[in-house]
Amino acid sequence: MSGFLESFRNIFKIEELRNRLLFTLAMLVVVRIGAHITLPGIDASLLAEAQKNQSDNTLFGLYDMFVGGAFKNAAIFALGIMPYISASIIIQLLGAVFPYFQKLQKEGEDGRKKINQLTRLGTIPVAALQAWGVSVQLSSRNVGGLGVVSPDISGAFFTISTVIILTAGTIFMMWLGEQITDRGIGNGISLIIFIGIIDRFPYSVFDEYQIIASGARNILIELIYIACFILIIAGVIAVTVATRKIPVQYAKRVVGRKVFGGVTQYIPMKVNSAGVMPLIFAQSIMFIPSTFLSFFPDSELMQGIAKYFDYSSWVYSSVYALLIIFFTYFYTAIAFNPKDVSDNMKKQGGFIPGVRPGKPTSDFIDNILTKITLPGAIFLAIIAILPTFLTKLGVTTGLASFFGGTSLLIIVGVALDTLQQIESHLLMRHYDGFMKSGKLKSRR
């Protein structure tokens, strides 16, 4: 414990790292402030009254958790960063179909900049469409015959102003995320989602406390739930940092056909090479049906269809799990290309013992990557849909979503990545890191 505190004190001894952390915190404070500024024309008291009768056990309730309560508050940051994530998914999927995008993905830094610019431009129509759906939903809500939207601003003017403000809010949050990545501690977009989820934790704990205080649940049952949650967290951390190493031999000196002075190194391959991106991607896709259905709040047919995409439905859980498995393989293929690894090894004179260089090496690496990714993808899918089972057992939606599911996976993944960023700064300047055993280093 003393070593951890010493490492924490060392953070503030490094001026650059201290400035980066303070800048990151300042940007995250701006994000949280924007989550509490209500849209013009919304009666805040009527909105709060309307929220009392709305269940959190819906996909909109999950969306609200990702944006830190901004959606329920009808705030200027109500859409959060999710439109940017959706645009990023579209661009990356296009890269698997259209040669132009495939070419950009292979152009290195210049290609990445062009892809980022296209993603920014694509965020605008996605955010505008979602903002339109939010304006329709807000216009349809009322309490005792009184509309949540003020009569003085209702109609086309409210719709146009809401679309402009929410779209601008998303663009501003996107810019904040990029600033955190460039000038802060890194992982800007992920940290914005992370802080939104963390913000809901005290509310979830308080709701659970009220249930225990009212006598609706035995304290022993609650302790069993806590023990299960601890095991789940431990499993998530284990899968996140787990790796498999493939031995690679490099020749120092070659005489004829004999190799002398070989040096053995390893290719670390993570069980979950994709990190939290499959979860964010899959969740963004699952928000699309609800966004579309929000345009028809008075249609019984559309609301009937919406039940199949309810957060607690088996249809939602099944589709969500399949999407996570798909995106895990999809993003792993982008992050770790066996052909590129094989080509680099061949250029550097390296080889895997017992495997011929070139395509056999690429196939060998791809085969191992496929095998170790499958259990990781299935584990991610199970944890992601776990809240559906927990709510059936009586756990409140907020706590179930926080300690089991997408939220937990994002929190663990982002926290470990952020710690690794800080660890790198400390070790670079010859300070002891948080993990002297080097477990975090395996995530590099």
Give the pLDDT confidence of 172-187 residue by residue, as tens digits. Answer: 999 999 999 888 888 8
Domain at 2-443, CATH class: mainly alpha
Those residues with Cβ within 8 angstroms of residue 421's Cβ, 6 or more apart along the chain or in another chain: 185, 186, 187
Measure the CA–CA gap between 176 and 179, rounded to whole angstroms: 5
Is the pLDDT at 74 greater than 60, yes or no?
A: yes
Q: How confident is the model over 292-348, as pLDDT tens digits? A: 766 666 667 776 776 776 767 778 888 888 988 888 888 787 777 788 888 887 777
State residue 372's pLDDT score.
82
Q: How confident is the model over 358-377, as pLDDT tens digits? A: 888 888 888 888 888 888 88
Q: How many CB atoms lie within 10 A of CB 263?
A: 10
Domain ranges of the chain: 2-443
State residue 57's pLDDT score.
53
- Give the model's confidence band at 357: pLDDT under 50 very low, under 70 low, under 90 confident, else very high: confident
Contact by Cβ (8 Å): 170, 123:
yes
Q: The pTM is what?
A: 0.71
Q: What is the mean pLDDT of residues 246-253?
A: 67
Distance of CA 7 to the CA centre of its chain: 27
Q: What is the mean pLDDT of residues 393-405?
A: 65
Highest mean pLDDT among 182-196, 212-226, 337-351, 411-425: 182-196
Q: What is the mean pLDDT of residues 144-154?
A: 76
Is the pLDDT at 260 greater than 60, yes or no?
A: no
State residue 128's pLDDT score.
92
Measure the CA–CA gap between 38 and 48, rounded to whole angstroms: 11
State residue 400's pLDDT score.
67
